[in-house]
């Protein structure tokens, strides 16, 4: 496959590696130019994942860690399509998510936020896209949480996404936000994304995805490369 098939990234749609308002980016963002790889990008294939690697509940965060009941919080459905630069579906690609629980706490030893853990919620899931590039997760709406970046700093409700496309160049890690969240205007991570591309990070409420008497639905389409690429997480 010719390297030219892979379209260049639209760097104007992605946040800067160093964004002073997002304080930790100052110390971890690269300050030296990248070193070009000798190998052609198209020859660096990512691992191939198959349906046999997934468990039947990996996509259902409301059940995949249940011990003695259901997790607390508002059930939601998050679904969408994974697309390439031309708007075509990306089939059989691994989609992974992780998130805080309804109280705004992660199941991780470094998260010492004074909020309860939920014994029935792990906050992690994965699935493969189908032949139309579609994915679907059942989960709990994550809560906001303080993160110490500045005085009275709170992260908006969000879900982390990690995707493996067909090639190394289509690897994507990003965050999905919810419509109407007042914290978006105050969050330097979200605001660090160029203004014209921020809407690509916000999901859309969908009554068609919503299930009667069960959960509200949100749609979040993800574009892996090209001028409409979903912005990356820094």
Q: Which residues are catalytic?
A: 106, 145, 155, 158, 160
Using alpha carbons, select from 200, 205, 197 the residue that is nearest to residue 180: 205
Helices (H), 15-164: 24-28
Determine which helix (DSSP H) or strand (DSSP E) holds 26, and give its type and residue range: helix 24-28
- What count of Cα atoms within 13 Å lies in the side-chain half-sphere of residue 53? 13
Q: What backbone torsions phi and psi does residue 216 show, to the nearest 5 degrees?
A: -75, 150
State both tokens at 145.
């949480």
């Amino acid at each position: 496959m010719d390297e030219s098939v892979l379209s260049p990234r639209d760097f104007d749609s992605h946040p800067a590696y160093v964004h002073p308002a997002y304080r930790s980016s100052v110390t971890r963002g690269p300050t030296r130019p990248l070193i070009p790889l000798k190998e052609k990008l198209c020859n660096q294939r990512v691992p191939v994942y198959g349906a046999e690697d997934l468990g039947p509940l990996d996509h259902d965060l409301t059940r995949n860690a249940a011990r003695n009941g259901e997790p607390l919080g508002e059930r939601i459905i998050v679904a969408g399509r994974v697309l390439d630069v031309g708007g075509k579906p990306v089939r059989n690609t691994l989609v992974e998510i992780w998130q805080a629980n309804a109280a705004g706490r992660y199941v991780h030893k470094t998260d010492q936020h004074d909020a309860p853990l939920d014994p029935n919620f792990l906050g992690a899931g994965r699935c493969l896209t189908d032949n139309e590039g579609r994915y679907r997760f059942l989960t709990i709406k994550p809560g906001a949480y303080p993160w110490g970046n500045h005085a009275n700093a709170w992260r908006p409700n969000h879900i982390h996404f990690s995707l493996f496309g067909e090639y190394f160049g289509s690897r994507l890690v990003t965050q999905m936000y919810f419509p109407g969240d007042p914290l978006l205007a105050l969050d330097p991570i979200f605001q660090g994304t160029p203004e014209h591309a921020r809407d690509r990070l916000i999901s859309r409420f969908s009554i068609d995805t919503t299930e009667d008497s069960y959960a509200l639905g949100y749609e979040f389409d993800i574009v892996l490369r090209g001028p409409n690429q979903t912005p990356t997480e820094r």
